[in-house]
Amino acid sequence: MSAPVETKVKAASAASFLVGIAIAVLNAVSADSSLLGPLPAWVQAVTLPLVPTALVWLAGYQARHSPRTGILR
Protein backbone atom coordinates (compact mmCIF):
# COMPACT_ATOMS: atom_id res chain seq x y z
CA MET A 1 0.00 0.00 0.00
CA SER A 2 1.46 3.33 -0.99
CA ALA A 3 1.55 6.25 1.40
CA PRO A 4 -0.59 9.31 0.61
CA VAL A 5 1.11 12.37 -0.82
CA GLU A 6 2.04 14.75 1.97
CA THR A 7 0.40 18.19 2.15
CA LYS A 8 3.78 19.91 1.89
CA VAL A 9 4.49 18.22 -1.43
CA LYS A 10 1.06 19.15 -2.78
CA ALA A 11 1.50 22.79 -1.71
CA ALA A 12 4.97 23.09 -3.24
CA SER A 13 3.84 21.44 -6.48
CA ALA A 14 0.80 23.70 -6.79
CA ALA A 15 2.91 26.79 -6.11
CA SER A 16 5.44 25.73 -8.72
CA PHE A 17 2.67 25.21 -11.28
CA LEU A 18 1.01 28.55 -10.55
CA VAL A 19 4.26 30.50 -10.58
CA GLY A 20 5.20 28.86 -13.89
CA ILE A 21 1.87 29.93 -15.39
CA ALA A 22 2.30 33.46 -14.03
CA ILE A 23 5.75 33.75 -15.57
CA ALA A 24 4.49 32.41 -18.91
CA VAL A 25 1.60 34.91 -18.91
CA LEU A 26 3.88 37.81 -17.99
CA ASN A 27 6.31 36.78 -20.71
CA ALA A 28 3.50 36.62 -23.28
CA VAL A 29 2.01 39.95 -22.22
CA SER A 30 5.30 41.79 -21.95
CA ALA A 31 7.44 40.07 -24.56
CA ASP A 32 9.70 43.12 -24.81
CA SER A 33 11.07 42.58 -21.27
CA SER A 34 9.60 45.85 -20.05
CA LEU A 35 8.63 44.18 -16.76
CA LEU A 36 12.26 43.69 -15.74
CA GLY A 37 13.63 46.28 -18.16
CA PRO A 38 14.92 48.73 -15.54
CA LEU A 39 17.09 46.02 -13.97
CA PRO A 40 20.57 45.21 -15.30
CA ALA A 41 20.78 42.00 -17.34
CA TRP A 42 22.71 40.11 -14.65
CA VAL A 43 20.04 40.93 -12.03
CA GLN A 44 17.33 39.70 -14.42
CA ALA A 45 19.23 36.45 -14.96
CA VAL A 46 19.46 35.87 -11.21
CA THR A 47 15.89 37.00 -10.42
CA LEU A 48 14.02 34.82 -12.92
CA PRO A 49 15.02 31.45 -11.43
CA LEU A 50 15.13 32.62 -7.80
CA VAL A 51 11.61 34.09 -7.52
CA PRO A 52 9.77 30.84 -8.38
CA THR A 53 12.19 28.85 -6.23
CA ALA A 54 11.61 31.14 -3.25
CA LEU A 55 7.82 31.02 -3.64
CA VAL A 56 7.79 27.22 -3.88
CA TRP A 57 10.06 26.95 -0.84
CA LEU A 58 7.75 29.28 1.10
CA ALA A 59 4.66 27.26 0.14
CA GLY A 60 6.32 24.02 1.25
CA TYR A 61 7.57 25.62 4.47
CA GLN A 62 4.16 27.05 5.39
CA ALA A 63 2.18 23.87 4.70
CA ARG A 64 1.60 21.53 7.61
CA HIS A 65 3.10 18.07 7.79
CA SER A 66 0.66 15.24 7.23
CA PRO A 67 0.21 13.19 10.40
CA ARG A 68 1.92 9.82 10.24
CA THR A 69 0.12 6.93 11.77
CA GLY A 70 1.36 3.45 12.44
CA ILE A 71 5.03 4.37 12.80
CA LEU A 72 6.78 2.92 15.82
CA ARG A 73 9.59 4.84 17.40
pLDDT digits (tens, 9 = 90+) for 37-53: 777 777 777 777 788 77
Please answer whether residues 10 and 63 qualify as being in contact, where contact means their C-beta atoms are separated by less than 8 angstroms.
yes
Please answer whether residues 64 and 13 qualify as being in contact, where contact means their C-beta atoms are separated by less than 8 angstroms.
no
Does position 71 have pLDDT exceeding 70, yes or no? no
Q: What is the pLDDT of residue 35?
A: 66
pTM for this one? 0.55
Q: What is the pLDDT of residue 17?
A: 82
Q: What is the pLDDT of residue 53?
A: 79
pLDDT digits (tens, 9 = 90+) for 24-37: 677 667 665 566 67
For 71, which DSSP code? Answer: -
CB atoms within 10 A of CB 73: 2
